[in-house]
């Protein structure tokens, strides 16, 4: 059999198009964005970045698209908003926020997670991951706008420290949405009658809303606990000195949570039962009540009465 000159007898590669054969270049298709809500994608990114998810750092990555959308919707960032994200992970929430916000600054302390975000944040010029602990973060130093927002899948074992740090900030966020353990969300949103010291501490600084509950299957790997989406709007109802006085009394009372106010307030009064009784009477509170039954107004009245009786020689 005689072949034509120059022919090899091989078929052109499948990716050749008519234009390629005729000499015209075929444009390369743009790479599809990573779907970071797919467990297989999460595992692939983790492998590429050398990330081993650490239980001690509460590294359970959100893989539920509906939950991700609910967080973004609850935060409601606009085109002019800066967002501080706490706990970038592999950038799942970062990417979702960047699609709506002006700028996203994601804080992360794990080097492998930062390597992962170097992969997942490609093409998102308005998002950056920074190696920094939120407890050392300064909104001004990070270049966040005056009415910045905050969000994150925060380490559950650091929830109290993170919320306190953020809400007590000289310039707190305009609003914030976080993933927290369901039991924590229940305590922070509890009606009067079932309050804890954490409830008093947070509700004195912000209004709190429990947006939705999430099962362990919403995360990769699934944690041992259920989670909740929590929305906070900073709105301090106490002055700083007044809040310190309230927390001083509440802290002493909740250390004896199962005992009555008589015992807890006596502790706050340095063991002076007469001073405690006078303060409770002045505040109009039954000494036989439990600490968890008081609302914020009652804690304020009690702290004010105790301080007044301390200053007054006659009780």
The arithmetic mean of pLDDT across residues 281-306, rounded, is: 96
172 backbone dihedrals φ, ψ, rounded to 5°:
-70, 165
Q: Is 129 helix (H, G, I), strand (E, B) or coil?
A: strand
313 backbone dihedrals φ, ψ, rounded to 5°:
-70, -25
Determine contact, residues 176/151, Cβ cutoff 8 Å.
yes
Has residue 304 got a pLDDT over 60? yes
* Tally of domains in the chain: 2
pLDDT in the model for residue 167: 94
Q: Is 82 helix (H, G, I), strand (E, B) or coil?
A: strand
CATH number for 306: 1.10.8.100
As a whole-number percent, the residues of the chain with pLDDT over 90 amount to 78
64 is a domain residue: yes
Non-local (6+) Cβ contacts of 229 within 8 A are 67, 70, 71, 74, 177, 178, 179, 210, 211, 212, 213, 214
Average pLDDT, the chain: 89
pLDDT in the model for residue 21: 35
Residues 198 and 264 in one domain: no
Residue finishing a domain among 178, 213, 234: 234
Helix ranges restricted to H, the chain: 18-22, 39-49, 65-75, 92-98, 111-120, 159-167, 182-188, 197-203, 240-254, 261-268, 273-282, 296-311
Residue finishing a domain among 180, 207, 234: 234
pLDDT tens, 207-249? 999 999 999 999 988 999 999 999 999 998 898 999 999 999 9
Model confidence band, residue 20 (pLDDT cutoffs 50, 70, 90): very low
pLDDT tens, 71-126? 999 999 999 999 999 999 999 999 999 999 999 999 999 999 999 999 999 999 99
Determine contact, residues 81/149, Cβ cutoff 8 Å.
yes
Residues 53 and 190 in one domain: yes
Residues 177 and 259 in one domain: no
Look up residue 69 and give its two tokens: 């959308």
The arithmetic mean of pLDDT across residues 129-147, rounded, is: 94
CATH number for 164: 3.40.50.150
Has residue 25 got a pLDDT over 90? no
Model confidence band, residue 256 (pLDDT cutoffs 50, 70, 90): confident
The reply to whether omega before 221 is within 30° of 0 (cis) is: yes
CA 192, 193, 194, 199: dihedral to nearest 10 degrees? 30
């Amino acid at each position: 059999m005689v072949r034509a000159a120059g022919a090899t007898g091989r078929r052109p590669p499948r990716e050749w198009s008519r234009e390629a054969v005729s000499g015209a270049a075929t444009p390369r298709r743009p790479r599809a964005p990573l779907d970071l809500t797919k467990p297989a994608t999460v595992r692939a990114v983790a492998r590429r970045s050398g990330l081993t998810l650490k239980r001690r750092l509460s590294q359970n990555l959100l893989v539920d698209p509906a939950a991700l959308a609910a967080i973004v919707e609850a935060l409601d960032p606009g085109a002019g908003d800066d967002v501080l994200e706490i706990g970038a992970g592999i950038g799942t929430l970062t990417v979702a926020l960047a699609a709506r916000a002006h700028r996203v600054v994601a804080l992360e302390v794990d080097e492998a997670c930062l390597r992962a975000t170097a992969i997942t944040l490609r093409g998102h010029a308005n998002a950056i991951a920074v190696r920094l602990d939120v407890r050392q973060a300064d909104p001004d130093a990070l270049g966040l706008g005056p009415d910045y927002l905050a969000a994150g899948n925060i380490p559950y074992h650091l929830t109290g420290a993170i919320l306190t740090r953020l809400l007590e900030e000289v310039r707190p966020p305009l609003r914030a949405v976080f993933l927290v353990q369901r039991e924590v969300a229940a305590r922070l949103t509890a009606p009067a009658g079932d309050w804890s010291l954490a409830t008093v501490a947070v509700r004195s600084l912000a209004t709190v809303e429990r947006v939705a509950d999430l099962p362990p299957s919403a995360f990769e790997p699934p944690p041992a606990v259920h989670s909740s989406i929590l929305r906070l709007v900073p709105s301090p109802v106490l002055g700083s000195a007044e809040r310190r006085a309230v927390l001083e009394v509440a802290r002493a009372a909740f250390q004896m949570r199962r005992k009555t106010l008589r015992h807890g307030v006596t502790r706050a009064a340095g063991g002076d039962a007469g001073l405690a009784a006078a303060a409770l009477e002045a505040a109009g509170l039954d000494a036989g009540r439990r600490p968890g039954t008081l609302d914020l107004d009652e804690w304020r009245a009690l702290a004010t009465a105790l301080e007044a009786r301390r200053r007054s020689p006659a009780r």
